[in-house]
Amino acid sequence: MAVKGYLVLSTGDVIEGTWIGATAEAEGELVFNTGMTGYQEVLTDPSYAGQIVTFTYPLIGNYGFNAQDDESARPALAGVLVQTPCDAPSHFRAAETLHERLARFGIPGLCGVDTRALTRLIRRHRAVFGMLTRDPARAKDWRPGPVRGTVARVSRKAPTTWAGDGPHVVVLDFGVKASIIEALRARGCRVTAVPYDTPPEEVLALRPDGLLFSNGPGDPKELLPLLPAWRPVVERIPTMGICLGHQLIALMFGADTERLPYGHRGNNHPVKELATGRVWITAQNHGYVVREESVPRGEFVISHRNVNDGSVEGLVHRRLPILTVQFHPEAHPGPADSSVLFDRFVELCQTVGAKRYA
């Protein structure tokens, strides 16, 4: 039997829907994803920690959920909003429906919601917070609080190593997606992922040929206290930053970050590589960007720019082997236009990083 649920918004709006997944109360920042596919990867992407995700594409769950495509061991998002969930998925690997996956991990959701109208509301009001509840009267006394500490929630608690014959890359796990690890391993790298707050001296003891600052959730400025100790290490070892990692490296070198009006989330965002003039279609998931006017131009070149709003999407250091991108070059699922960036990074690890120990 269908059970009514409600989305109470910080704007004062109350939206009615039908419960899917767990019938548990939850609250978080409301964000929207414009991808037509990839809902399994979205649900398991740690960068969505503490957020209620609205899918603009109306039909979600049509190819089900499988055991191979998760980006993390369990979802970290707060809730899900869809218009039409598919209860009879069609795919040879499908093992669960959307409802079954959400219920198994205790994640609440609402269906029957006009998600495109909700997206317009988010675009109009910008920062919007919501509560999923069975009692719409909660709107009278609910006041949303800030979502903090999400990186600590999603980062691993102990180091993990994957064997490989190539350069040794240490990944600082701020909420790393499994597909980033897979992209490095596919290029022969030995990979060690460590907790986000691992001291730099412990990472150096691992003798890395390269460092990767991963994606992750939240405001990058929450992690400012960790950055001064990392700059001397990043200046010595080839380093790549992805999404949150890109923002952290920019902050590390004196740039500033700011919140976007409503973020970039989807697998269809055009980004221009300035050196070649090529436009890549990219997968993105972020609510903050590096402020262009704050980039120290004596040290960094802006390498990529968002075609839609002109925001900074990539940086390359003028002298040191450091490259960063705001988007997700591993793109699972999605376009593979920017996967070449991993090739460039691994080459730096082989030609520059490995020589440190010769």
- Residues within the annotated binding site for L-glutamine? 47, 216, 218, 244, 247, 285, 287-288
- Residues within the annotated binding site? 47, 216, 218, 244, 247, 285, 287-288
Q: By three-state DSSP, how is residue 58 classified?
A: coil
pLDDT at 69 (0 to 100)? 94
Amino acid at the residue 152 = A
- Active-site annotation holds for 189: no
Enter the tokens of residue 264.
């970039």
- This prediction's pTM: 0.96
Beta strands in 165-308 (DSSP E): 168-173, 190-195, 210-213, 239-242, 257-273, 278-290, 300-306
pLDDT at 354 (0 to 100)? 62
Catalytic-labelled residue, pool 99, 330, 332, 349: 330
At residue 220, what are phi and psi to the nearest 5 degrees? -60, -25
Residue 267's alpha-carbon distances to 33, 103, 335, in angstroms, are 8, 26, 7
Catalytic-labelled residue, pool 168, 328, 332, 349: 328
pLDDT at 336 (0 to 100)? 76
Instruction: Report the residue count for the chain.
Output: 358
Q: Spell out the per-residue pLDDT of the chain, length 358, in tens.
A: 689 999 999 998 999 999 999 999 999 999 999 999 999 999 999 999 999 999 999 999 999 999 999 999 999 999 999 999 999 999 999 999 999 999 999 999 999 999 999 999 999 999 999 999 999 887 788 888 878 999 999 999 999 999 999 999 999 999 999 999 999 999 999 999 999 999 999 999 999 999 999 999 999 999 999 999 999 999 999 999 999 999 999 999 999 999 999 999 999 899 999 999 999 999 999 999 999 999 999 999 999 999 999 999 999 999 999 999 999 998 766 667 888 999 999 999 999 976 675 5
pLDDT at 1 (0 to 100)? 67
- Active-site annotation holds for 332: no
At residue 247, what are phi and psi to the nearest 5 degrees? -65, -40
Contact in structure between 175 and 203 (CB atoms under 8 Å): no
pLDDT at 200 (0 to 100)? 97
Catalytic-labelled residue, pool 189, 243, 246, 273: 243
- Active-site annotation holds for 243: yes
pLDDT at 137 (0 to 100)? 86
Structural domains in the chain, sorted by start:
4-140 (3.50.30.20), 150-357 (3.40.50.880)
